[in-house]
Amino acid sequence: MTDEENGRAPQRGPSPGQTPREWFAALLRAHIEERGGGSYGELVEATRRAHVPVARSTLGDALSGTHTPRLETVQNLVIALHRRQGLPGEPDLPGWGRDYELLQDLLSVRREGSRSASDARAASEGRTWPREFGKVPEAAGAFLARPGRRVPEGPGRFLLTGTGGVGKTQTAAEYVRERLSAGSLDLVIWVTAASREKLVGDLAAIAADLTGTTRPNAEDAAAQLERWLARARRSWCVVIDDLARPQDLEGLWPPYSDHGVTLVTTRRRDAALQARGTVVDLTPFDERESLAYLTSRLGPHRAAPEDLAALAADLGHLPLGLAQTAAFLLDSDISPAAYRARLAREGARLAELVPNSLPDGYPLPFSAAWSLSVERADALRPSGVAGPVMQVLSLLDGTGVPGELLVTPALSALSPHPSDATARDEVHDAVHNLRHLSLLSVDTTATSSRPPEHATGEPGPGGALAGKAIRVHTLTQRATRDLLAAPERRSAVSTAAQALVEGWQAPGVPARLDRALRANAFALAGHARDELLTPVPHPVLYRMGHSLGDSGQASAALRHFRRLREVVDARFAPDDEISLDTRGHLAWWQAKAGDPAGAARAYAALYADQAPLYPSDHPGLLQTRQSAAVWRGAAGDPHAAVVELKYLYELRIGLGRSTDRDTISNRNHLANFLAASGDHAGALALHEEAWREDEARLGPDHPDVLRARSAAMHHRGELGDVRSALAALRDLLEVQQVEDPDGPDTFATRARIADWTGRSGHAAKAVALLEPLFSDRLRVMGPEHPHTLGTRMDLARWRTAAGEPARAATELTELLADEEELLGPNHPALPATRAALAEALAEAEADALGAAPPERT
């Protein structure tokens, strides 16, 4: 609808000699006359009846042209006039908003840019609104308007997702073109997300133009755009086209705004990405749309509708495939039936089935022969293995399936060969048959530091995929999944899920492999949520949540288990074992995410619900009660924890379970809370008991004995015998460094040695021990892992003690920011970091003043 049809004068600038305020007041007066006129009193009464009252003096200021009215005043007057006349629909408030924005711009220029330096400069250079940055693609021949697949009414963020060639970019371009044509858009920003570097460079340049300021750091400059858009009162649309890596947008997301729309086109369907906005899932054409498209491109007399429908079905109704095929038919002057014959011919090559010049500027040819290629791979020796392997891979993370999954028993079972070693070899060969037919690639970039060997430790060809990443193009995965029959799909999902669980069960899973397994598990859950929940939740759903939390993302793990509990509660009774077990997982991550008190209450409630269902000495029931006690102690009540844990320990001993794992865990927790209560002698007695038991059973040099001895000697150290504590730790480390130099237990022992070294009065030596430990944990575990963050804390703390408080303060400031971002503002680690930072700053200040440092506590 035009401005005239809305009953409002079109947007324009002041006449010669007319000030901006006089021009705007004239617009208002003209609109009043068009809406029936009236005196000031009548207009004030109209606003009162419309429940948007405007005072007489305010109205007089707005219509006099001597003062700048508030936008709210203008909108209230427009609403009142619209309702007074009983007009249908809503008044054109966005149009008045644009007029008001122009008024502000004109006033800004008169003030020499005090409101917006960029607007003033743009006006002086002859640039006017609307503004466009980047090139909006022209309408493609492959594009067909689809009313059911349009971008919803804004404002907001919308993620246009779908496989390649379904029209994501064209849907975004159509939206932008329509709004520009309607005059409802003032600013368009179109950038292609080819890489993080390109995104940052493009957004930084746009931000510099809009803000009129530049910054030396490109990341900082790009971040300016978000702040500018958040404050902008103009209507804007930002399009991020073809986002391949969601992390490329971290820190660069356009804001939510009443004036703005963000469109992101992407093939990715990550849960974290989808949480950023409303998903608009673009799918291939339906049969009616495919027929309409081919008929319009080829002409109504080119072929019978049934032939066109059959051709569209062969091509999977993919818009890009239909476009390239239609161009090929026109260039080659062949019929759809002849094309279908070529397409079905064994060995048909893609280069023979697409036009020489691809239409619509799309750089890649469409391949409709995925299924044919899979069949060829499946026919090669070992026959019948490549197809099932491809079905499993189609459900995982195509950007990197760890090769270790391909040597698990679950994947080996896809081979009919009875020999485990031969089955692994056949899966290996099937993968390379798929690679030879360009259905996947094998990346030699390692995903694991483990040597390529079988689960039995036996090296062989089947293990050659370990440490490598299998990459499958999204189109290939989509085509494979679309062809799966229901039984095949259920089988592939079960195999993929079990392979992931087995991958996590292997000993010594390094952090890099853990990340890859987690990414694949979430990809599987995204594709097969219902299958993983039917008939009962698959263990992989729990294992992936624990992997997420163990990597340092405790809050994300908590959210995962909350969502899982919601699904479980909807499907199972409250007293079902699955429901109760899920509550236990959720309570654990509630504690690890920084709420031990809430976790203690959750475990106590779980125990109350379990108690009527199990015998009083049931191991699971006792373990729930133990967890409630442990987290109550962690929440600040160690004495209560000691009482409860002592009761449970004596009960388990009385039941004859002294060697059970739960009993040993009970004893360790009891010792720790005795120590937390100040009773190191009691803690020492328990750990010495464990040490002597293990020594009698395993011998003095067994690693488990050395661990038990180290735990006991820790309490001797607390009681003053630091030498014994260090000696026990060094003996343990000597064995661990031979067995697993990069293992988490080895790193933990090194951290304890550094701590006792510092506590014995050698702070500089503690720093020297912690520096290489930090490098090793960073390399193996990654920067986000809690142990890596903890090492940074320990290193800075001992730097302060070693006489480097200024450097420590700098490191602690950076650590605090990282912890707040990674762990959340309420995590229990933060108060300790803040206290260490305050101490470092105090000592640094004392050093600067030449005064004695404050007394340590």
Q: What is the pLDDT of residues 163-173, one digit of tens each?
A: 666 788 888 99
533: pLDDT strictly greater than 90: yes
287 CB contacts (<8 Å, ≥6 apart)? 309, 312, 313, 317
| Cα diameter, the chain | 103
Q: How many CA atoms lie within 13 A of 757 on its CB side?
A: 21
For the record, the structure tokens of 280 come out as 């608009």
Q: Which amino acid belongs to residue 306? A: E
Indicate the range of 157-166, 187-196, 746-755 predicted with least confidence: 157-166
Indicate the range of 359-363, 517-521, 580-584, 595-599 predicted with least confidence: 359-363
**What string of H, E and C letters represents the secondary structure of 411-477?**
HHCCCCCCCHHHHHHHHHHHHHHHHHCCCCEEECCCCCCCCCCCCCCCCCHHHHHCCCEEECCHHHH
Q: How many CA atoms lie within 13 A of 713 on its CB side?
A: 21
User: Where does 195-308 show beta strands of DSSP type E?
Assistant: 236-243, 260-266, 278-281
Alpha-carbon span 643 to 633, nearest angstrom: 10
Query: End-to-end alpha-carbon separation of the chain, Å?
Result: 73
Residue in 13, 215, 209 with CA at minimum distance from that of residue 116: 209
Quote the pLDDT of residue 323.
Answer: 81
For 335, the 3-state DSSP assignment is coil
Give burial (CB, 10 Å; 0-12/13-18/19+) of 53. middle
369 CB contacts (<8 Å, ≥6 apart)? 343, 348, 350, 353
Please name every residue paired with 237 in a beta bridge, in sequence order, or none if there are none: 188, 261
Indicate the range of 137-151, 283-297, 463-477, 625-639 predicted with least confidence: 137-151
Residue in 665, 766, 672, 669 with CA at minimum distance from that of residue 718: 672
Alpha-carbon span 204 to 198, nearest angstrom: 10
| pLDDT one-digit tens code per residue, 708-718 | 888 888 888 88
Cis omega (within 30 of 0) for bond into 130: yes
702: pLDDT strictly greater than 70: yes
Quote the pLDDT of residue 475.
Answer: 53
Quote the pLDDT of residue 141.
Answer: 58
H/E run at residue 191? strand 187-192
Instruction: Give the mean model confidence (pLDDT) for residues 264-286.
Output: 79
- Specify the length of the chain in residues: 857
| Sign, CA torsion 431/435/438/441 | positive
| pLDDT one-digit tens code per residue, 730-786 | 988 888 888 888 888 889 899 999 999 999 999 999 999 999 999 998 888 788 788
Confidence of residue 359 (pLDDT cuts 50, 70, 90): low
Confidence of residue 370 (pLDDT cuts 50, 70, 90): low
Give burial (CB, 10 Å; 0-12/13-18/19+) of 416. exposed
Residue in 547, 545, 605, 538 with CA at minimum distance from that of residue 578: 538
Alpha-carbon span 312 to 603, nearest angstrom: 57
Q: Which residue has the tokens 């466009």?
A: 132
530 CB contacts (<8 Å, ≥6 apart)? none
Quote the pLDDT of residue 360.
Answer: 54
Please give the DSSP secondary-structure letter assigned to residue 67.
S
| Phi-psi category of residue 296: left, alpha or beta, with phi > 0 → left and psi -120 to 50 → alpha | alpha
Alpha-carbon span 146 to 127, nearest angstrom: 35
12: pLDDT strictly greater than 60: no
Alpha-carbon span 710 to 386, nearest angstrom: 51
| pLDDT one-digit tens code per residue, 562-592 | 999 999 999 999 999 999 999 999 999 999 8
Q: Which residue has the tokens 């309570």?
A: 587
Quote the pLDDT of residue 127.
Answer: 54
Confidence of residue 446 (pLDDT cuts 50, 70, 90): very low
Quote the pLDDT of residue 755.
Answer: 94
| pLDDT one-digit tens code per residue, 63-74 | 888 888 888 888
- Percentage of the chain surpassing pLDDT 90? 36
Whole-model pTM: value is 0.54
Residue in 332, 327, 265, 334 with CA at minimum distance from that of residue 293: 327
Instruction: Give the chain's mean pLDDT.
Output: 83
Quote the pLDDT of residue 372.
Answer: 57
Quote the pLDDT of residue 463.
Answer: 55
Quote the pLDDT of residue 455.
Answer: 36
438: pLDDT strictly greater than 80: no
Quote the pLDDT of residue 851.
Answer: 55
Instruction: Give the mean model confidence (pLDDT) for residues 604-608.
Output: 97
Residue in 428, 566, 414 with CA at minimum distance from that of residue 494: 414
Alpha-carbon span 446 to 350, nearest angstrom: 32
The strand pair at 187-192 and 260-266 is best described as unpaired
Residue in 325, 312, 318, 319 with CA at minimum distance from that of residue 358: 325
Higher pLDDT, 547 or 445: 547
Alpha-carbon span 590 to 562, nearest angstrom: 10
239 φ, ψ (degrees, to nearest 5): -115, 120
Quote the pLDDT of residue 562.
Answer: 96
Question: DSSP of 740-764, one letter per residue?
Answer: -TTSHHHHHHHHHHHHHHHHTT-HH
156 φ, ψ (degrees, to nearest 5): 145, -175
Instruction: Give the mean model confidence (pLDDT) for residues 672-684.
Output: 90
447: pLDDT strictly greater than 50: no
- For the sheet containing 278-281, what is the strand order? 131-133, 187-192, 236-243, 260-266, 156-161, 278-281
